[in-house]
Amino acid sequence: MNRMQSALAYIPADERELWVAMAMAVKSEHGEAGFAIWDEWSQTASNYNAAAARSVWKSCKGTGVTAGSLFHEARSMGWVDNDKHAKPSPEQLQARQRAAQARQTQEGMEREKAQQQAAKKAGWILHQCQPEKHAYLDSKGWPDAVGAVWWPSEEQNLLCIPMRVGDALVGLQLIDRLGVKRYLTGQRTSEAEHLISNNGRGAADFFVEGYATGLSLRECLQALRMRYRIHITFSAGNLVKVAALHGAGYVVADRDDSGTGERVAIQTGLPYWMSDVQGEDFNDAHRRMGTFQASQALRRWLVAQELDSKRIASAIGLP
């Protein structure tokens, strides 16, 4: 491993894409035993986070990027492959840091500009939208529902879901008739959400991934006459970020085949509901069971969470 450690010393760990690629390269060569050297190198980054490092390492399957890619990257930054395994000089490290900072500054400026342009375009598109029925809503169980629909051409209509960070519009999720989803180029997606709420006293926060799941959850919570704030987060990774901003509530997770939905639900640290049927999200369960049975299943689960909370509070002496 000395050769790989020597090569890593010449590569900056601050740039995320390169950082992840190097994890894949190390893991492809050394398997789990390589984590120690990759993590040690990762700690040279100014933005190092131990939990994030463990998560990225776990997600790497050891394929796609090889040790050869790592050595090639190191050579481009001055590493010489020999038996001495020399470390970079202080001058080389400083030059590398200056170059990395310059790249990050430029990338940050370009990203900010792209996000501003995307937010402006999102506002323009929403002004072009008309309240109409849409094939995607029909396919998810609401044939008569009306959404914001944009016609970029005579052949195509897109259901537009506004995405906001706080009160600021940052972009859109665009859904075509077949259910294919995309975002505006360059838009911000991290911590962005679409909120469905009948906010009031005692309203509970619910975190979900998809728009259709949010609509099904709304129908069932309304059947239970509950107050709610449903945070539609658009992806599993972003669900964790949005939930962390609020710190309390419930997750309604997808039981997807990859297990990602449950993993991120656990990661939030919040109570989570999930269908007993493999491959289902809450919209699937709602359409299978109907509003009454789905809402009653949700009610029983919520009551169980409340009872568990009271038992825990009693056990630790809280009123």
Closest CA to 299 of 212, 234, 204: 204
User: Given this model, what pLDDT does residue 310 score?
Assistant: 57
For 143-151, which contacts have Cβ atoms below 8 Å and span 24 or more sequence positions? 145/215, 150/125, 150/174
Give the three-class secondary structure for 228. strand
> Residue 312: which pLDDT band, with cuts at 50, 70 and 90?
very low
Q: Would the pTM of this model clear 0.75, i.e. be above it?
A: no
Nearest Cα to Cα of residue 51 among 33, 62, 37, 39? 39
| CA-to-CA dists, residue 123 to 60, 63, 164, 168, 184, angstroms | 38, 41, 11, 10, 11
Same domain, 119 and 163: yes
Of 164, 190, 216, the residue at which a domain comes to its end is 190
Q: What pLDDT, in 10s, does the model give residues 155-207?
A: 999 999 999 999 999 999 999 999 999 999 999 999 999 999 998 888 999 99
Position 100 pLDDT exceeds 80: no
In a domain, 299, yes or no: yes
**Exposed, middle or buried: residue 3 (CB in 10 Å: 0-12, 13-18, 19+)?**
middle
Q: What average pLDDT does this structure show over 107-112? A: 80
Q: Is residue 94 part of a domain?
A: no
For 139-227, strand residue ranges (E) read 147-153, 156-165, 168-175, 181-183, 194-197, 204-208
CA angle 286, 310, 303 (to 5 degrees): 20
Q: Grade residue 65 by pLDDT with cuts at 50, 70 and 90.
A: confident
Both 219 and 306 in a single domain? yes
d(CA 268, CA 271): 9
Which one-letter DSSP state was computed for residue 193?
B
pLDDT at 81 over 60: yes
Which pLDDT score is estimated for 84? Answer: 55
User: What is the DSSP-derived secondary structure letter of residue 32?
Assistant: G
Is 104 a domain residue? no
What mean pLDDT, rounded, does the chain reach?
87
Domain of 159, in residue numbers? 115-190
Rg of the chain over Cα atoms, rounded to whole angstroms, equals 24
Are 138 and 223 in the same domain? no
CA distance 37 to 22: 11
The 3-state DSSP class for residue 197 equals strand
- Indicate if 269 and 283 belong to the same structural domain: yes
Task: Write out the two tokens for 128.
Answer: 């072009």
Whether 109 maps to a domain, the answer reads no
Domain end among 69, 88, 107: 88
199 and 175 within one domain? no
Do 237 and 130 lie in one domain? The reply is no
Domain membership flag for residue 12: yes
The distance of Cα 141 from the centroid of its chain, to the nearest Å, equals 26
At 77, is the secondary structure helix, strand, or coil?
A: coil
| pLDDT (tens digit per residue) in 110-155 | 888 899 999 999 999 999 999 999 999 999 999 999 999 999 998 9
Amino acid 318: pLDDT: 41
203, 204, 210, 216 alpha-carbon torsion, rounded to 10°: -70
Instruction: Show the tokens assigned to 115.
Output: 């996000």
Residue with tokens 């259910």: 179
Q: Which amino acid is at 171?
A: G
Phi, psi values for residue 251, rounded to 5°: -105, 135
Claim to verify: residue 119 and residue 79 sit in the same structural domain: no
pLDDT greater than 50 at residue 12: yes
- Per-residue pLDDT tens digits for 18-64: 888 899 899 988 889 999 999 999 998 877 888 888 888 887 865 56
Number of structural domains, the chain?
3
* Listed residues 134, 167, 190: the one ending a domain: 190
Same structural domain, 182 and 197: no
Q: What percent of the chain lies above the pLDDT cut of 70?
A: 88
The per-residue pLDDT for 316 is 39
* 234 and 299 fall within a common domain: yes
> Is residue 96 situated within a structural domain?
no
Q: Are residues 234 and 220 in the same domain?
A: yes
Q: What is the CATH number of the domain that holds 286?
A: 3.40.1360
Q: Looking at per-residue confidence, does 208 or 310 come out higher?
A: 208
**pLDDT for 241-297, tens place per residue?**
999 988 889 999 999 988 899 999 998 889 999 999 999 999 999 999 999 999 999
